[in-house]
Amino acid sequence: MNARRMFAALCIVTLTFISATCFAGGDKAGEPQPPPPAWMKIPAAPPLTAEEALKTFKLQPGFHLEIVASDPLVRNPIAIAFDPDGKIYVVEYRGYMPNAEGVGEDQPVGTIAVLEDTTGSGRMDKRTEYLDKLVMPRAINLSNGGVLVAEPPNIWFCRDKKGEGKSTVKISVAADFGSQSSPEHTANGLMNGIDNWIYNANFPARFRWKDRLTLGREPTSPKGQWGMTQDDWGRLYFNSNSNLLFADFVPSHYFFRNAFFNLPGKEMTAVGVGVEIVKDQTVYASRVNPGVNRGYQKATLRDDGHLNKVTATCGAGVYRGDNFPPEYKGNVFIPEPSANLIKREIITEIGVKLSGKTAYDKDEFLTSTDERFRPVNMYTGPDGCLYIVDLHHGILQHKVYLTTYLKKQSIERQLDKFNDLGRIYRVVADGTKPGPKPQMSKETPEELVKHLNHPNGWWRDTAQRLLVESKEDSVIPALRKMASTPEPENSMGRLHALWTLEGIGGVDVATIKAALTDPRPKLRAHAIRVSEVLLKAPPTPSGETPKPFTPPQDLLDALKTFAKENSDDGVRVQLMLSLSDVQHPTAEEIVDSILKDRVDDPMIRGAAISGLGGRELEFLQKEFSHAEWAQPSASHELAVVDNEGKPVLEKDGKQRIDKIPPGKQAFISSMAGCVMRRKIGERIESLIDLAAGQVGAQSWRAVEILKGMSVNGPKNGRRVKLPTEPESLKKLLASPDKSIKDAAVAIDKLVKWPNRPGMEPEPPPLAGEHLASFERGKEVYKMCAECHHLQGWGIEGKAPPLVDSEWALGTEQRTVRMILNGMAGPKKIGDTMFNAGGTLEMPGMGGTLKDQQIADVLTYIRREWENYAPQVKVETVAEIRAKEKDREGHWTEKELNDLLKIKDPAAKKDSKKK
Q: What is the DSSP string of 580-613?
A: TT--SHHHHHHHHHHHHHHTT-HHHHHHHHHH-T
Q: What is residue 174's predicted lDDT score, i.e. its pLDDT?
A: 94
Q: Look at residue 466 and tell me whether its pLDDT is greater than 70.
A: yes
Q: Look at residue 908 and tell me whether its pLDDT is greater than 50.
A: no
- Going from the C-alpha of 583 to that of each of 92, 502, 577, 586, 589, the distances in angstroms are 49, 22, 13, 9, 11
Q: Which residue has the higher pLDDT, 300 or 889?
A: 300
Distance CA 381, CA 86 (A): 8
pLDDT-derived band at 259 (thresholds 50, 70, 90) equals confident
Q: What is residue 566's predicted lDDT score, i.e. its pLDDT?
A: 67
The strand pairing partners of 58, in sequence order, are 367
pLDDT-derived band at 179 (thresholds 50, 70, 90) equals confident
Q: Which residue has the higher pLDDT, 6 or 80?
A: 80
DSSP letters for 312-339: S----EE---SSS-GGGTT-EEEEEGGG
Closest CA to 522 of 233, 229, 194: 233
Q: Look at residue 64 and tell me whether its pLDDT is greater than 90.
A: yes
Mean pLDDT in the chain?
A: 90
Q: Are 153 and 175 in contact (CB under 8 A)?
A: yes
Q: What is residue 14's predicted lDDT score, i.e. its pLDDT?
A: 29
Distance CA 232, CA 456 (A): 10
Q: Look at residue 328 and tell me whether its pLDDT is greater than 70.
A: yes
Q: Are 176 and 845 in contact (CB under 8 A)?
A: yes
Distance CA 390, CA 377 (A): 8
Q: Are 156 and 171 in contact (CB under 8 A)?
A: yes
Give the distance, in angstroms, between the CA of residue 336 and the centroid of all CA atoms in the same chain. 20
- Cα angle 460, 463, 465 (rounded to 5 degrees) comes to 105
Distance CA 95, CA 103 (A): 9
Q: Which residue has the higher pLDDT, 832 or 912?
A: 832
Strands (E) in 449-512, as ranges, are none
Phi, psi (5° rounding) for residue 784? -75, -30
Q: What is residue 642's predicted lDDT score, i.e. its pLDDT?
A: 64
Q: What is residue 638's predicted lDDT score, i.e. its pLDDT?
A: 64
Q: What is residue 17's predicted lDDT score, i.e. its pLDDT?
A: 31
Q: Look at residue 78 and tell me whether its pLDDT is greater than 60.
A: yes
Closest CA to 348 of 252, 283, 274, 278: 278
Distance CA 107, CA 110 (A): 8
The lowest-confidence range among 320-334, 545-559, 574-588, 834-848 is 834-848
Q: Are 460 and 194 in contact (CB under 8 A)?
A: no
Distance CA 427, CA 443 (A): 28
The lowest-confidence range among 648-662, 739-753, 854-868 is 648-662
Q: What is residue 763's predicted lDDT score, i.e. its pLDDT?
A: 80
Distance CA 407, CA 100 (A): 6
The SS3 assignment for 707 reads helix
- Cα angle 451, 457, 459 (rounded to 5 degrees) comes to 35
Distance CA 883, CA 868 (A): 27
Please list, residue by residue across 663-679, b when 16 or more beta carbons sit within 10 angstroms of its beta carbon and e when fewer do: bbbbbbbbbbbbbbbbb
Q: How many CB atoms lie within 10 A of CB 607?
A: 29
Q: Look at residue 729 and tell me whether its pLDDT is greater than 70.
A: yes
pLDDT-derived band at 148 (thresholds 50, 70, 90) equals very high
Q: How many CB atoms lie within 10 A of CB 309?
A: 18
Average pLDDT over residues 236-265: 93
- Give the pLDDT confidence of 587-600 residue by residue, as tens digits: 999 999 999 989 99
The SS3 assignment for 408 reads helix
Q: Look at residue 276 and tell me whether its pLDDT is greater than 70.
A: yes
Phi, psi (5° rounding) for residue 198? -105, 125
Q: Look at residue 639 and tell me whether its pLDDT is greater than 80.
A: no
Distance CA 176, CA 784 (A): 9
SS (H, E, C) 522-581: HHHHHHHHHCHHHHCCCCCCCCCCCCCCCCCHHHHHHHHHHHCCCCCHHHHHHHHHHHCC
Q: Are 912 and 760 in contact (CB under 8 A)?
A: yes
Q: Look at residue 135 and tell me whether its pLDDT is greater than 90.
A: yes
SS (H, E, C) 799-860: ECCCCCCHHHHCCHHHHHHHHHHEEECCEEECCEEECCCCCCEEECCCCCCCHHHHHHHHHH
Q: Look at residue 838 and tell me whether its pLDDT is greater than 50.
A: yes
pLDDT-derived band at 905 (thresholds 50, 70, 90) equals very low
Task: Kindly give, in sequence order, each residue whose CB lies less than 8 Å from that of residue 598, ignoring residues fewer than 6 positions away.
Answer: 572, 604, 663
Q: What is residue 831's predicted lDDT score, i.e. its pLDDT?
A: 66
pTM here is 0.88
What 24-29 contacts at long range (C-beta under 8 Å, 24+ apart), as own/partner pairs, is: 24/399, 24/402, 24/403, 24/404, 24/406, 24/407, 25/398, 25/399, 25/400, 25/401, 25/402, 26/293, 26/294, 26/397, 26/400, 26/401, 26/402, 26/403, 26/406, 27/403, 27/404
Q: How far apart are the first and last CA of the chain?
A: 74
Q: Which residue has the higher pLDDT, 237 or 912?
A: 237
- Give the pLDDT confidence of 36-49 residue by residue, as tens digits: 999 999 999 999 99
Q: Look at residue 644 and tell me whether its pLDDT is greater than 80.
A: no
